[in-house]
Amino acid sequence: MQKLDSFVKMRVRQGIPDPVVVDCRRLLCPLPVIRVQDRVADLAPGTQIEAVCTDPGALQDIPAWCRINGHTVLRTDSKDGEYLVVMRVGGAYEGGG
């Protein structure tokens, strides 16, 4: 939990509103993407999400899923064996395509 706390403190210093945090630690592919996908389904466009993972593959998998589904990756980071993917929910499903 201390590693996640350092990410939270960094966000507070930068004046960024609290995002939705999705805990994907100890999950292996494809579960981090599925966990994020399930959470995004309940969120409004523009909502910021932080996925905290221990699977390094999540740094490629979640951004790829975001590109396919119209969401925006704001940044990725890694620290002490944890990987952070910060994204913003897009409006990909509006307008019927």
Active site members: 29
**Cα 5 to Cα 22: distance, rounded to the nearest angstrom:** 14
Give the strand pairing for 82-88 and 72-79.
antiparallel
Strands of the sheet with 82-88, listed across from one edge = 20-24, 48-53, 82-88, 72-79
